[in-house]
Structure 1
Amino acid sequence: MSRWFGHPWWLLSILLVVALVAAYVIEMRRRKTRALRFANLDVLRSVTPGARDRFRHVPFGVLAVGLLLLTIAMAGPLAERDVPRNRATVMLVVDVSNSMMATDVAPSRLEAAQAAGKRFADELTAGINLGLVSFAGTASTLVSPTPDHNATKNALGKLKLADKTATGEGIFAALDQIQTLNSALGGDSHAPPAHVVLLSDGKQTVPESPNAERGGFTAARKAKEENIPVSTISFGTLTGTVELEGPNGQMQRVPVPVDDDSLRQIANISGGNFYTASSLDELNKVYSTLREQIGTERQRGDNSRPWMIAGTLLVLAGTAGALFLNRRLP
């Protein structure tokens, strides 16, 4: 019962409402008995309007329901609601491999990722620690987790493309930053919840196997051990291409389709969520969903106000009805 009410013992007051209803019923029966015993029925019917007689118990019923709702309000009903987090850590991990220059997402995959990332940083709940890691052949920590979200926005605008894709290195770098912050806060027992958001468009190339020591799947298992989910965003289309310099020095068009399978697996292993986006608008929607998930938490809190309002209105309505229909209080 304490799961649903803050002060469940107040529910015993319902017995008083039940007793009041019982007393009312008994009194009405007594009045009817006295009326039938001493009154002339024909005269009684002539002086008692039928409509008023039919509705004369309604005000008391409304009043009784109002008292019942007020009794429930006193018991402090609880309800779950989403409230902004005041403590959390989020690490954005962004792929800056050369495939991100593909223009299948206008104006390019990288520029769209930068714009959506800045919007995410702008709208993320104030007070949440936000950091940024970029990765291509290696990973670079551009912003350590901080409540100053402008730092991440500024760093997003300076991302540079490079060769290769080391997805695992990006995740490991993010985990290292989270652990460093947690240590500064007094250890894991005092650490806020953490989340890694990984945006990439391609398959890992360094190392070749995602199950290698520094591979993406290995990093995902490490995140799972540390209870840090990695949510992944597969960004781009299957028809993306880029212009790269070939062995003979000439430019050639190379297909760079997105790799949903590996990113989905990373999310599944770590306990995160997998998303796809093939446009800036879709990416903004994904970030909006993640922002709601990360920036809020479900909490059980007091929900007595609506019960109090409804109960008070019904008590007032019942009292007014009694005065109007019966010319007296119940």
Structure 2
Amino acid sequence: MSISGTPFSISGFTSALWLGFIVALVIIALIYVLVQRRRRKHMLRFSNMELLEQVAPVRPKPWRHVPVALTLVGLLFLTIAAAGPTAAKKVPRNRATVILVIDVSLSMEATDVPPSRIQVARKAAKQFADGLTPGINLGLVTFAGTASVQVSPTTNREAVKAAIDNMKLAERTATGEGIFTALQSVDTLASVLGGAETPPPARIVLMSDGKQTVPDDQDVENPRHGFVAARLAKQKGIPISTISFGTTWGTVDIPDPDGKGSQRVRVPVDDDALHEIANLSGGEFFTASSLEELSSVYAKLDEQIGYEMTMGDASRPWLLLGLLVTAAGVTTALVYRQRLP
């Protein structure tokens, strides 16, 4: 239940001393009960039952207690409001950096995700850019055999989307280079901003569809390997959220060197490597094999990256409830009893 979008979950109070007023409300309630019992005893002192029926011909109804009950409940809500309740609230981030790292190797031509992996990747990435809160700096890095910064971190979403539309495919897959380039882009922005005790929080979102080929995927100790880059990201406090995009049955046609034909090559996704990169960096791993699934992953990342939970004032709903319930108690007393409780 909520009022003005603020949940009633309370995790603390800024002025808890005011909660002591609840004791006073309990005492008032007890006094009211004792007064009602005493009044009943006075009525029963009449020995002549016929006279009693003439004095009190109608048995009092339970609803006569409603005005007092409503007033006490309203005062309880107002007491909680006065104590300064706090609650976790979701607020947009205004100081953060996100680097979108996209695989543009030739395997992205595969049509197992119709119309093709690269076309679906473009559409979903632009949705991701649009979904981020305005204050976040978003950059774009693409990688195939090498990696390059297409757009340095910026709040200009149109520039990022234009670069996404212009992504070109190339041979080979250097996943580690993509991560290293993204980390350099984050460092560059932090040095440009300066002035703060700590750099803005950063996150890398890496989308790839295949196995690393530069350096060889098995050469895990190579200083340019994706796993080494993921460990460096962990040291820098920059988690990498990885998205394994595609299927295990995807294929592409690779032209022969002589140009007289082509060879069909399987390009299955490499879930294991991307999962490990996410684990090593402290990020999350996702899979997607359709536009709907990829869009859903990006939407979840938009929510995670674009907002943060902070403790804020939650007294307003209690104040409004207190005023409404107290007013209801007074109104009920005036309408049905022609006097205040």
Q: CA separation in 1, counterparts of 2:155 and 2:51?
A: 82
Instruction: Give 1:65 shift.
Output: 1.1
Against the structure 1 CA distance between its residues 77 and 213, is the aligned structure 2 distance closer, same or farther, given a 3 Å change threshold?
same
**Partner in structure 1 of residue 84 of structure 2:** 76
Quick check: 1:19 aligned with 2:27? yes
* Structure 2 equivalent of residue 49 of structure 1: 58
**1:241 corresponds to which residue?**
251
Q: Give yes or no for contact 2:67–2:329 (8 Å, CA) kept in 1.
A: yes
Query: Deviation per CA, 1:67-124, whole angstroms, max 9, x where unpaired?
Result: 1111101112111122111111000000011101111112211111111111111121
Q: Contact conserved, 2:46 with 2:52, CA < 8 A, in 1? A: no
Amino acid at match of 1:23: I
* Residues 122, 149 of structure 1: 8 Å contact kept: yes
Mean alpha-carbon deviation: is it higher for 247-256 or for 168-177? 247-256
Structure 2 residues not aligned, in runs of 5+? 1-9
Unpaired stretches in structure 1, ≥5 consecutive residues: none
Is 1:216–2:226 an aligned residue pair? yes
Task: Quote the offset at 1:41 in angstroms.
Answer: 4.6
Question: Alpha-carbon deviations, 1:127-162, whole Å to 9, x = none?
Answer: 100000000011101111111121111111111111
Q: CA deviation at 1:22?
A: 2.8
Report the Cα distance in structure 2 between the residues aligned to 1:206 and 1:322, rounded to whole angstroms: 81
Moved more, 16-25 or 256-265: 16-25
Query: What corresponds to 1:181 in structure 2?
Result: 189
- Residue identity in the other structure for 1:161: L
Query: C-alpha separation between the residues in 1 aligned to 2:267 and 2:63?
Result: 77
Of the structure 1 ranges 226-235 and 177-186, higher mean CA displacement relative to structure 2 is found in: 177-186
TM-score (norm 1): 0.93
Tell me by how many angstroms 1:307 deviates: 1.3
2:5 is aligned to none
RMSD over aligned Cα atoms: 1.9
CA distance in 1, matches of 2:51, 2:237: 82
Q: CA separation in 2, counterparts of 1:45 and 1:265?
A: 86
Q: Identify which range, 320-329 or 61-70, moves more after superposition.
A: 320-329
**C-alpha spacing 1:188/1:224, structure 2 compared with 1 (3 Å):** farther
Contact 1:89 1:128 in 2 (8 A): yes
Matched with 1:163 is: 171
Quick check: 186-195 or 71-80, which moved more?
A: 186-195
Query: What residue number does 1:34 align with?
Result: 42
Q: Which moves more between the two structures, 286-295 or 26-35?
A: 26-35
Quick check: 2:11–2:85 contact (8 Å CA) kept in 1?
no
| Equivalent residues of 2:21, 2:79 under 8 A apart | yes
Distance between the aligned counterparts of 1:58 and 1:69, measured in 2? 16
1:228 counterpart residue number:
238
1:298 aligns with 2:318: no
The reply on whether 1:267 has 2:275 as its aligned counterpart is no
Q: Secondary structure at the match of 1:197?
A: strand
TM-score by length of 2: 0.90
